[in-house]
Structure 1
Amino acid sequence: MGAGSTTETPAVDAYPTRDKAPELSETPRRDPVVWPGGPSGPLGPGELDTYDRDGFHTAERLLTPDEVSSYLAELQRLRADPAMQDDERAVREPDSDQVRSIFAVHEISPILARLAADPRVVDRVRQILGSDVYIHQSRVNYKPGYGGNGFYWHSDFETWHSEDGMPRIRALSVSISLTENLATNGPLMIMPGSHRHFVACPGSTPPDHHRQSLRRQEIGTPGPPAVRRLADRHGIVQITGPAGSATFFDANCMHGSNGNITPYERANVFIVYNSVENTLTEPFAAPGRRPEHIASRTFVPVGDIAR
């Protein structure tokens, strides 16, 4: 698929959701987790098997302490930058004026662009997805101490499929921690094995849904009975560890995080990679596309950006 190209909308929606599916319905996954035919990389057979089974892999201390300090300083610079205050790429907390997330950071910051193209990250992604990849979305998530809000249970793919037109489950997120992730400061939580079934979510997508959902998501989240069923079946693990660690997790993993009332902030960079063989079509369950800074339609392989 060439740079900047698009694909035609598939005739059949492989993963119906929202007003196209019955509430509480589950669709068995129709796509591989670890895709065949990809390049070799740093993950060994055991690590790939674990990723296939659980849907995630954590590489502890992937970044050096000096790199962590540099990237964290860049996150703090972006948050304090007056030019970002009225920028639509900056998302506020639902109940305050604090910055919750900043999107498209690999386009805003040359420093974070280097991180997004780092072979230590991208080589693992290509190995799992079995192809070249492009950046579907990048963002920084700030969860300050004394009140940083959480993110409710959700599968990213449910939103990317319904609102962005991502056809198949051939994408993953990388969460790179720039502060220590403690059990108490709102770390990422994942239900291991939940990526094996696609869970339809109730509701109909309103126009410009992203303006609300990025602050507090309600449409595109499973109801309490579905969350309980999944938790009983799969359990819940907290992703904790030192700054500089990176967690690679499948686009269809059910995940979320609690709020942070501790004094210890949590700051992470999220980079979403999608296969160049899985480029976006028109949304499957939304009235229109989300903005480019949330769902890129410039399908340039990461290696081409680096060169």
Structure 2
Amino acid sequence: MTATIGSETRKEDRYYTRVAPTPALIERVEPAVWGGDASAGMFGAQELATHERDGFVSIPQLLTAEEVAGYAAELDRLATDPAVRADDRTVIEKTSNEVRSVFEVHKISEAIGALVSDERVAGRARQILGSEVYVHQSRINYKPGFGGGGFYWHSDFETWHAEDGMPVPRAVSISISLTENYPHNGCLMIMPGSHKTFVSCVGETPEDNYKESLREQEIGTPDQDSLTALADRHGIAMLTGAAGSATFFDSNCMHGSGGNITPYPRSNIFIVFNSVENATVEPYYAPKRRPEYIAARDFTPVPRS
């Protein structure tokens, strides 16, 4: 489909979105695992096959108990630092006025910056993407008890393609849990296999859409019929696990999480690795780029540790 964004006419784009009056389900042509060499990293052949099939793979214990305690203390420090709270990179919950997310956290926190280049993290991303990688986005997410807001169903790639100019879904995210993830405290939910279908959304991207979407996303969210079709086809997996567990998931996975009305908080470190061969260009379906702390324009590869 050809679309006009501002004065620029885009050439044929397989993953068109936010330009048609009706949604569409578009089958993906790219693989989820671009490397696939089990001898090239920490993932085994079965884990890579699982990632290709389901779009995600979980690691029961990525971090030690001691590391979890250290990173949890770092998250508490950041959440209570007045300078961090006042920073543009910090997102505040609409209802509770608590910190929801802190972006570009690998540049704010030395400890999390070191974690990004850890072979357990970046090494696995390289193995999946089959290339050197850079950090497209990093953040910490807080979901406090008695009021942590949810994240509605969405594909990250839809937003990164439309608003950040990511050409194809050759990116992978890792969510590292620093608290116990229960079914009832807003755990991550993914539709296994949904990464193979791109959901084209309805509604043009407003100017500075990120200012609202980071608190509560509306534009770029799938319609209910498409979500129902994907859920009927793939089901819904609830990703629970102990503190220190982690999940790598494809950029086009349909995922979300409910609100947390339990007493048990949920927090995680979230890092997005993009292939250096998939560096972002101008946004495909947005008036202008989002800030660099949300979508990096520095494509320097993560150094090998």
TM interval, short-chain normalised? over 0.9
Query: What is the aligned length?
Result: 296
Give the structure 1 partner of residue 32 of structure 2: 33
Matches within 5 A, 1:255-266: 255-266=255-266
Does structure 2 conserve the Cα–Cα contact (< 8 Å) formed by 1:207 and 1:287? Answer: yes
Does structure 1 conserve the Cα–Cα contact (< 8 Å) formed by 2:36 and 2:45? Answer: no
Shift of 1:173: 0.6
Give the structure 1 partner of residue 87 of structure 2: 87
3-state SS of 1:14 partner: coil
3-state SS of 1:141 partner: strand
Does structure 2 conserve the Cα–Cα contact (< 8 Å) formed by 1:175 and 1:269? Answer: yes
Counterpart of 1:132 in structure 2: which amino acid? E
Q: Which runs of 5+ in 2 are unaligned?
A: 1-8
Q: Is residue 177 of structure 2 the alignment partner of residue 192 of structure 1?
A: no
Find runs of 4+ consecutive structure 1 residues off by over 3 angstroms. Answer: 9-12, 36-39
- Tell me the TM-score normalised to structure 2 length: 0.94
Give the structure 1 partner of residue 154 of structure 2: 154
Moved more, 74-83 or 86-95: 86-95
Whole-Å Cα distance in 1 between the matches of residues 23 and 202 of structure 2? 8
Counterpart of 2:34 in structure 1: which amino acid? W
Shift of 1:22: 4.8
3-state SS of 2:57 partner: strand
Give the structure 2 partner of residue 96 of structure 1: 96
Give the structure 2 partner of residue 4 of structure 1: none
Does structure 2 conserve the Cα–Cα contact (< 8 Å) formed by 1:71 and 1:111? Answer: yes
Whole-Å Cα distance in 2 between the matches of residues 169 and 85 of structure 1? 32
Whole-Å Cα distance in 1 between the matches of residues 121 and 96 of structure 2? 34
Label 1:37 to 1:250 Cα distance change in 2 as closer, same or farther (>3 A): closer
Q: Is residue 74 of structure 2 the alignment partner of residue 61 of structure 1?
A: no
Does structure 2 conserve the Cα–Cα contact (< 8 Å) formed by 1:22 and 1:200? Answer: no
Counterpart of 2:263 in structure 1: which amino acid? P
Give the structure 1 partner of residue 5 of structure 2: none
Q: Is residue 16 of structure 2 the alignment partner of residue 24 of structure 1?
A: no
Shift of 1:24: 2.4
- Tell me the TM-score normalised to structure 1 length: 0.94
Shift of 1:97: 1.6
Instruction: Give CA-to-partner distance per residue, 1:89-121, whole Å, 9 cap, x none.
Output: 000112232110000000000001011111111
Does structure 1 conserve the Cα–Cα contact (< 8 Å) formed by 2:140 and 2:270? Answer: yes
Percent identity reads: 60
Moved more, 35-44 or 272-281: 35-44
Counterpart of 1:24 in structure 2: which amino acid? P
Whole-Å Cα distance in 2 between the matches of residues 37 and 202 of structure 1? 35
Shift of 1:10: 7.8
Q: Is residue 164 of structure 2 the alignment partner of residue 164 of structure 1?
A: yes
Q: Is residue 76 of structure 2 the alignment partner of residue 76 of structure 1?
A: yes
Counterpart of 2:169 in structure 1: which amino acid? I
* Pairwise CA RMSD: 1.4
Whole-Å Cα distance in 1 between the matches of residues 225 and 173 of structure 2? 26
Counterpart of 1:287 in structure 2: which amino acid? P
Shift of 1:36: 3.5
Give the structure 1 partner of residue 3 of structure 2: none
Whole-Å Cα distance in 2 between the matches of residues 16 and 125 of structure 1? 26
Q: Which runs of 5+ in 1 are unaligned?
A: 1-8
3-state SS of 2:40 partner: coil
Counterpart of 1:171 in structure 2: which amino acid? A
3-state SS of 1:290 partner: coil
